[in-house]
Amino acid sequence: MTGEIVELAGDAADTRASWAAGSAELPRVLPLVPVQGLRAHEGRYGGPGLRGTALIAEVERSGLTGRGGAAYPTGKKLRTVRERAGLRGAVVIANGMESEPASAKDAALLARAPHLVLDGIALAAEATSARAAYLCVRRPAQADALAAAIAERGGYDPVPVQLALVPERYVSSAESSLVRYLNGGPALPEFTPPRPFERGVRGRPTLVSNVETLANLALISRHGAGWFRSAGTASAPGSALVTVSGAARSPGVYEIAFGTPVRDVLALAGGGGEIGGVQAVLAGGYFGSWLPGGAALGTPAAPDTLSAAGAAFGAGIFLVLPAEGCGLAETARVVRYLAGQSAGQCGPCLNGLPAIADALEQVAFGARGSGRGAHGRALRWLRDLFGLVEGRGACHLPDGVARLAASALRVFADDVRRHERGPCLAAHGRPVFTVPPGPAQAAAPARAATARTREARG
Amino acid sequence: MSKRLRVNPILCDAHGVCAGLLPELISLDPWGYPILAPGPVPAELESLARRTVASCPALALLLEPSLPALARETR
């Protein structure tokens, strides 16, 4: 144990040197070697600097935005919750759920720098006058490791962090799901508004922030807005964690400066496309959109630039489709998975998502000798379905599915035409993306799982 | 102040009563769930809209003041 700390202290010295030089060297948020233990953490990062309202002002100057997908300005969110806190106080929720199957960055961060995240939670709780703070995760092993880290902190934090092991489901990481769960309900999306910052846990204004966002908050407290802005671009300052998978030699989690061209992001993962190069990139993951290879590679990886290109940075997910893959087949498998993740609360989602999955499978796999008429009918039905599900759920799952499927029809338009004569060879080949098991396993036990975890938490 | 209709999709059970009472502003999708016309409720339809809201068996239909756009929800 002691040996480990000494070893890590050496690593820490190098990183501090680069900060002292005011350079934009990475990594910032995600250390290469886990920083385990509070002493090792303090040795590497030192104690927090700015706190309270001074920290909120500094975060506003830094331009930090949420790293969970929506890229909402963190300073604005902190200020809103603080202003609404009043005498009852606020609540802080650190969102470490990472329900998106193609993302691994929050798990990596929580494993390698748990105390940086816990510092961020403590600082956010203090700054928003919070009475309670929660860290939500979905894996029991994660919860065990984090419970040990929290226990080490003793009276270190103004508000002790409570760990919540939340039932695993795609929509359980939505902020309204976490609030509903912590209020004693199921971890499923709630009808909003009122939004959590207006009325959240026990009716209190509630700040829900991604764990990577909170780690950045902890670093801004120490090093300030100027340091934060020394990485990234003027419109998207700072660094971000990305998860690269699909046709990549070294798939995994990497830290990049915002604005790094997607080509260089993929190069970190050993480059994409083994034989013929990159056919397309699914930027933003299951909740994002496809970009054709050429357009994707030159685009700077940042929320504003990827949105302008017709995709999303989201939670920093890049799925690489090689030249020999079938984008329609890959998308159909992802959409089938997402349809199975519907909580079944909202009619348009419950009915519309399986219908989209069926129609997209018809287009991709041309099932059961159905002929040309069926292909055209499926395409027309898809266009109608997108309009029928968008904006009609309590959460954004239906919007995400419609967006993803529509982007596949747009980017793989040539394949759509070719598939009229039947599926391509690649459609029935080995899938490039690893999609979790389908609805048969995922849909039914959700409520049972909720009850079980609740008893365990008791 | 102008009002707008909103449906709570979690409560809605596709009874379809609303579309029958207020076809000017509400139609049904292929599965029987309401599709609301965008924008504020015209003043001349407000009392009918209020009666429609009161008739929803699931209490899923709401008539609310039109509010300025609130901050986006994060995931």
Which pLDDT score, from 0 to 100, does residue A369 have?
Answer: 57
CATH number at residue B31: 3.30.70.20
Q: Which fold has domain A239-322?
A: Ubiquitin-like (UB roll) (3.10.20)
Which pLDDT score, from 0 to 100, does residue A378 have?
Answer: 96
Q: What is the ipTM of this complex?
A: 0.88
Taking only the tens place, the pLDDT of each residue in A380-394 is: 999 999 999 999 999
Q: Which residues of B touch A172 (CB under 8 A)?
A: none
Q: Is A23 left (phi over 0), alpha (psi -120 to 50) or beta?
A: beta
Question: A58, A30 in Cβ contact below 8 A?
Answer: no
Q: Are B8 and A190 within 8 A, CB to CB?
A: no
Which domain range does residue B45 map to? Answer: 3-65
Examine the pLDDT at A230 and tell me if it is beyond 50. yes
Residues in A whose CB is inside 8 Å of some CB of B read 66, 68-70, 72, 76-77, 80, 173-176, 190-193, 195, 197-198, 208, 210, 287, 315, 345-349, 351-352, 388, 392-394, 396
Does the beta carbon of B11 lie under 8 angstroms from any beta carbon of chain A?
yes
**Reported confidence tier of residue A446, pLDDT bands at 50, 70, 90:** very low
Taking only the tens place, the pLDDT of each residue in A285-314 is: 999 999 999 889 999 999 999 999 999 999
Which pLDDT score, from 0 to 100, does residue A165 have?
Answer: 97
**Cα separation, A290 vs A283, whole angstroms:** 6
Q: Are A388 and B30 within 8 A, CB to CB?
A: yes
Please tell me whether residue A21 adopts helix, strand or coil conformation. coil
Q: Considering the domain boundaries, does residue B71 fall inside one?
A: no
Q: Give the count of beta carbons closer than 10 Å to the beta carbon of residue A225.
A: 20
Q: Considering the domain boundaries, does residue B72 fall inside one?
A: no
Section A313-334 average pLDDT = 96
Which pLDDT score, from 0 to 100, does residue A10 have?
Answer: 34
Question: A168, A177 in Cβ contact below 8 A?
Answer: no
Which pLDDT score, from 0 to 100, does residue A287 have?
Answer: 94
Interface test with A, best of B10, B11, B70, B74 (most A CBs within 10 A): B74
Q: Considering the domain boundaries, does residue B46 fall inside one?
A: yes
Q: What is the distance, to the nearest Å, from the Cα of residue B70 to the centroid of all Cα atoms in its chain?
A: 19
Q: Considering the domain boundaries, does residue B31 fall inside one?
A: yes
Q: Are B9 and A349 within 8 A, CB to CB?
A: yes
**Reported confidence tier of residue A439, pLDDT bands at 50, 70, 90:** low
Q: Where are the beta strands (DSSP E) in A83-152?
A: 90-95, 130-137
Burial of A316 (0-12, 13-18, 19+ CB in 10 A): buried
Range scoring the smallest mean pLDDT among A79-93, A266-280, A322-336 = A266-280
Q: Considering the domain boundaries, does residue B18 fall inside one?
A: yes
> Domains in chain B: how many in total?
1
Tell me the shortest Cα–Cα distance from B66 to chain A, in angstroms.
Answer: 13
**Cα separation, A365 vs A433, whole angstroms:** 17
Q: Considering the domain boundaries, does residue B7 fall inside one?
A: yes
Q: Considering the domain boundaries, does residue B22 fall inside one?
A: yes
Q: Give the count of beta carbons closer than 10 Å to the beta carbon of residue A121.
A: 27
Q: Are B73 and A396 within 8 A, CB to CB?
A: yes
What's chain A's average pLDDT?
Answer: 89
Q: Which residues of A touch B30 (CB under 8 A)?
A: 351, 388
Burial of A368 (0-12, 13-18, 19+ CB in 10 A): exposed
Q: Are A192 and B74 within 8 A, CB to CB?
A: no
Which pLDDT score, from 0 to 100, does residue A310 have?
Answer: 94
Residue ranges covered by each domain of chain A: 2-10+24-229, 239-322, 328-431
CATH architecture assigned to A328-431: Up-down Bundle (1.20)
Section A69-97 average pLDDT = 96
Of B10, B33, B75, the CB nearest to A396: B75
Residue A68: CB partners within 8 Å, gap ≥ 6? A95, A173, A209, A210, A212, A213, A315, B74, B75
Across the beta sheet with A90-95, what order do the strands follow? A161-165, A130-137, A90-95, A206-210
Q: Which two tokens stand for residue A254?
A: 């990497």
Q: Are B9 and A197 within 8 A, CB to CB?
A: no
Indicate the length of chain A as a whole number. 458
If contacts are CB pairs under 8 Å, which of residues 29-68 in chain B contact chain A? Answer: 29-33, 35
Taking only the tens place, the pLDDT of each residue in A24-59 is: 689 999 999 999 899 999 999 999 999 999 999 999
Q: Are B12 and A197 within 8 A, CB to CB?
A: no
Instruction: State the number of CA atoms in the 13 A half-sphere of B68 facing the CB.
Output: 1
- Output phi, psi for A136, to 5 deg: -100, 125
Tell me the shortest Cα–Cα distance from B51 to chain A, in angstroms.
Answer: 22
For domain A2-10+24-229, give its CATH number from 3.40.50.11540, 3.30.1330.100, 3.40.630.30, 3.40.50.2300: 3.40.50.11540
